[in-house]
Amino acid sequence: MAETFVIAQGGGPTAVINQTVVGATLEIRKRYPNARVLGSRYGVRGVRDGDFVVLSDISERELRLFGGTPSSGLGSTRDKPDAAYCDLVLKGLKKVDAQAFIYIGGNDTSGTQQILTDASGGSIAFVHAPKTIDNDLMENDHTPGFISAAEFVAGAFLSVDLDFRALPGVYVAIVMGRHAGFLTAASAAWRLDEQSGPHLIYVPERAFSVKSFIDDVKRTLDKHKRCIVAVSEGVQTADGTSLVESIVGPDKVERDAHGNVKLSGSDLNRAFETALAEGLPGKRARVDALGYMPRGYVGAINRTDSQEAFDAGVYAVEAAAQGGGSVALQYDGQKTVLKIVPLSHVAAKTRHMPDDFITAEGTGLTAKGMAYLERLVPKKYDVGKPFV
């Protein structure tokens, strides 16, 4: 009987996630010429409902075009399977006689694969292929999707810093990142010099105080006559409460199926606008949320990121042949290498920015943090130094 592989995408899209689908599909064709490859629409929901695209029937040319297309082309989901849902997913996999299930995603997706592994009894190989712009998967040096999103963020902050040199004031941009500040930190990757913004960086790994924030902005204005701020949407107060939850209240915030607080929206913007208006009356200030734009922007698809996403798909097939696990991108000191690690090492865990990446004040990056970013997100444009 010919092998059957099922591939799905979970969680937030990225600019390169479809490359992982294509890498896996083409590798399966190479290893198992008669295999059937099914792409599940909308993650595990499609497996449960029997909603599939037959990827093995699609030409390589069409697949390559699909690989270069941003966002999750199979559709995604944030469904979190409980025992009953898992049972339906397993039945869906068995109904199509799947030997392996490759699920591309982040923390929650890896957690789903662990749940399914435990429930299956070993009859199916479950593989987690990494994907997240948050860059917060354990066992990984970095994750597919991060570099492209980081380029967007780095370019946005370089551009806005030049804007505010011309017309000084305060600029705050809220960047995606629930528990880890890697993407927010990428705002500093393309600084022109020590005078360049972002001048202040706030990440979830450090407690956030509105009073300290205003004091920091005042000091920066005194020094630079402008202040560019990068802040993670997941910043927390000293008691561990997300800033948006402390503002809106625990009973009023929205949550997803995984229990995560909805961080996007206007509440956080208004909080910063109010803080600046009250703390710095009369100062020109702007607050923006970059929102979803960085994660799937067609103009910032990085070649290395794209190739690594493809390679992760290829390696996921090897992981399936070895009985399952999580594909990890690791750095050997010279280059990125792929490895298979146990699902339990990654599932539902969060990798935070290392302490030694963040300055003692908690508002900037150390030389080690900058070196990490410069390795992954080297400067892409030659920009002249302004005269102001």
d(CA 365, CA 192): 15
Among residues 108, 134, 161, 311, the one annotated as catalytic is 134
Determine the Cα angle at 148 with ends 144 and 151, to 5°: 140
CA pair distance 32, 35, nearest whole angstrom = 5
Beta-strand pair 336-341/324-331: antiparallel
Please say whether the beta carbons of 178 and 184 come within 8 A. Answer: no
**Is 134 labeled as catalytic in the residue annotation?**
yes
- Smallest CA-to-CA distance from 126 within 143, 111, 136 is with 111
DSSP-derived pairing of the beta strands 4-9 and 36-40: parallel
Residue type, 213: F
Could you give phi then psi for residue 52, rounded to 5 degrees?
-130, 150
**By the 8 A CB rule, do 350 and 132 touch?**
no
So which residues are the catalytic ones?
A: 134
